[in-house]
Each structure stands twice: as structure tokens, then as C-alpha cells.
């Protein structure tokens, strides 16, 4: 069982409500009218972005013909969705989409990542992360950059503990050779990456795509992350990052394209031992 995440609980609650409503061929407007509220409220609950109280949820569950046991499950999800999170104190620093990302990441059972040009945030050192923050432009003050690095370090706690995240990280060789923060910072980053690989052999799989690899579909594209969840009710999700935007993808056809792209990129990557060897080789070149 992956770590409890209010974001994932709200998402599952919304999915279950929407699936039942569509199965019964009831429009969101009709469901909203039945519980004396607006369509935007019901739609917001179904997307996991709007909270619903116990009374309204009971009314909606009755309209959608959930039985008593199912309604109790829905109420449990509602309660879980309302819990305070570790990232709540930092909410003013990030937009709503980024906060949702934290929630999905925290509640995921597995993540398949593709990173071109930078090391995955879950595997960064403080010095490397700070160098990335400083590279974000003069608009990011030192105090804010430090707080953002603090958040990044907290996110990494999902890699350890009794219920660790299972992370498959595809990283391009260019990310290993890009000297973010300078030679010393980069050498420390590669040392940290190698240590993590050795410390977490059962849950962390880092694969390097070498310069010698042929063309693959993700080449030249943006970073993306495929989240998998413990609940069989939940589909996979893709989070894609570009320079100016982020995108959360849950459409089945687009999801399949990203999954295939990750699988294809994986086929061009070095195996675990070779990947670790290349990391160590480049680290030694920097020292």
C-alpha cells in the first residue's frame, strides 16, 4: 500500500462518482439539481478539485444508487481527501497544478520517469537542486530557492521507509555530463546517484540512455513521469513538463503513447550495471 495522499483520495472519490453517474446515464446538471447545487460543483468534485461535505456526499451517493457499504467507502475517501499534507505549509509558493503533482507523487506506488538534460528531482542533491533553482532566473530569490530545495528534499522521503516508492528513472547521458552548478557540484550529484542505486536495489532502477543510442520517440522531447497507483480502481497518469507549462494526462490513448515511448526508450538504455558504470566513469572525469 502506497502512502496515503489526500490528492489521490479526492481523485478516486471523483472517479467513482463520475463512473457511476455516467453508468446510470445521469448528467452532471441533473445530479447537481437533485442535491440542490450547481453543475460546476459536481464537476469539480468529480475532478478532485472541489471538496464535498459528508451531507452532500450522502445525498449524491443516494441519487447515484450507491449501497451502504459503498457509501461508507466514499465517505472514507472524503475524509482522507481532507487531511493536511506535508506540503501544506509550502502551498503559497506553488500553483495548484504543482501541488496536485506533489499529491500524486506522494500517493503513487510506482513512477516511470524520463529525464533529458537534468537528473530527476527525486534523485537530486541539495547543491544540484539549488543550482537548478538559481538557473530559473533572477525572479527566484535566495530565500525562496532554499525553500523550494527544502520541498524537493522532503519529496525524496518517498524513496525510503517501510513503503518505498518504486522508481524507474530513465536519464539521458547528457544529464550526466551537463555540469549544473560546476564540476564539484556535479561530481557530488553523480556520487549521490551511484550511492542511491546501491542503497535501493529493490525499488530504484536507474537506466542511462547513452549518446550511442539510435533515435527513439522520446528523444528531443520533454521530461515526463508515469504514475501507477495501488488501487485497482485508478488508472495510470502522466505528468509532462515543458519550459513554460505542465500537463496532467489521463486520456487512455495519450497514456498509451507515453507508456510505449518509455518502453522504447528503456530498450535503448544501458542495463543496471552498465548504467552505474557510466555514472562512475563520468564522476571520476570530474574529480
pLDDT tens figures, 255-286: 999 999 999 999 999 999 999 999 999 999 99
**pLDDT digits 0-9 by tens, 195-249:** 999 999 999 999 999 999 999 999 988 899 999 999 988 999 999 987 767 788 8
- Please give the Cα distance from 4 to 12 (Å, whole number): 12
Contact (Cβ atoms closer than 8 angstroms) between residue 144 and residue 93:
yes
State the first-to-last Cα distance of the chain, in angstroms, to the nearest integer.
Answer: 41
Nearest-CA neighbor of 208 among 150, 141, 145, 282? 282
Same fold, 6-81 and 89-286: no
- Write out the E strands in 109-259: 110-115, 166-172, 204-209, 224-228, 237-241, 246-249
Q: Residue 123 and residue 112: Cα distance in Å, rounded? A: 13
Give the cell for residue 97.
Answer: 497544478
The pLDDT tens digits for 57-79 are 999 999 999 999 999 999 999 99
Q: Assign domain 89-286 to its CATH architecture.
A: 2-Layer Sandwich (3.30)
86-108 pLDDT, tens per residue? 999 999 999 888 899 999 999 99
Alpha-carbon separation of residue 11 from 80, 99, 234, 241, 248 (angstroms): 11, 14, 9, 21, 13
Which cell goes with 199?
542503497
Q: Domain extents for the chain?
A: 6-81, 89-286
Per-residue 3-state assignment (H helix, E strand, C coil) for 16-45: HHHHHHHHCCCCHHHHHHHCCCCHHHHHHH
For residue 141, pLDDT beyond 50:
yes
Eight-state DSSP code of residue 253: H
Cross-strand partners of 191: none
- How far is 95 from 105, CA to CA, in rounded Å? 16
Angle between helices 96-107 and 6-23 (to 10 degrees): 90
Q: b vs e for 2-19, b when ≥16 Cβ sit within 10 Å of the residue's Cβ?
A: bbebbbbbbbbbbbbbbe
Q: Which CATH number is 6-81 given?
A: 1.10.260.40
Amino acid at each position: 500500500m502506497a502512502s496515503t495522499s489526500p490528492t489521490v483520495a479526492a481523485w478516486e472519490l471523483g472517479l467513482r462518482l463520475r463512473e457511476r453517474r455516467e453508468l446510470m446515464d445521469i448528467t452532471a446538471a441533473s445530479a447537481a439539481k437533485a442535491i440542490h447545487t450547481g453543475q460546476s460543483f459536481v464537476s469539480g468534485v468529480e475532478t478532485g478539485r472541489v471538496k464535498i461535505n459528508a451531507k452532500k456526499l450522502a445525498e449524491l451517493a443516494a441519487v447515484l444508487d450507491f449501497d451502504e457499504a459503498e457509501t461508507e467507502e466514499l465517505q472514507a475517501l472524503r475524509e482522507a481527501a481532507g487531511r493536511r499534507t506535508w506540503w501544506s505549509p509550502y502551498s503559497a509558493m506553488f500553483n495548484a497544478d504543482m501541488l496536485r503533482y506533489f499529491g500524486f507523487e506522494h500517493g503513487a506506488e510506482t513512477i516511470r520517469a524520463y529525464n533529458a538534460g537534468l537528473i530527476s528531482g527525486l534523485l537530486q542533491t541539495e547543491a544540484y537542486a539549488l543550482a537548478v533553482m538559481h538557473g530559473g532566473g533572477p525572479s527566484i530569490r535566495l530565500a525562496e530557492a532554499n525553500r523550494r530545495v527544502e520541498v524537493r528534499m522532503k519529496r525524496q522521503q518517498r524513496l525510503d521507509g517501510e513503503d518505498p516508492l518504486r522508481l524507474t528513472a530513465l536519464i539521458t547521458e547528457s544529464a550526466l555530463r551537463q555540469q549544473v552548478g560546476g564540476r564539484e557540484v556535479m561530481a557530488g550529484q553523480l556520487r549521490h546517484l551511484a550511492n542511491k542505486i546501491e542503497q535501493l536495489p529493490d525499488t530504484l532502477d536507474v537506466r542511462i540512455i547513452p549518446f550511442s543510442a539510435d533515435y527513439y520517440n522520446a528523444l528531443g522531447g520533454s521530461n515526463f513521469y508515469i504514475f501507477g497507483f495501488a488501487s485497482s480502481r485508478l488508472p495510470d497518469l502522466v505528468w509532462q513538463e515543458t519550459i513554460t507549462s505542465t500537463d496532467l494526462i489521463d486520456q487512455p490513448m495519450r497514456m498509451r503513447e507515453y507508456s510505449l515511448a518509455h518502453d522504447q526508450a528503456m530498450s535503448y538504455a544501458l542495463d543496471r550495471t552498465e548504467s552505474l558504470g557510466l555514472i562512475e566513469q563520468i564522476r571520476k572525469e570530474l574529480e
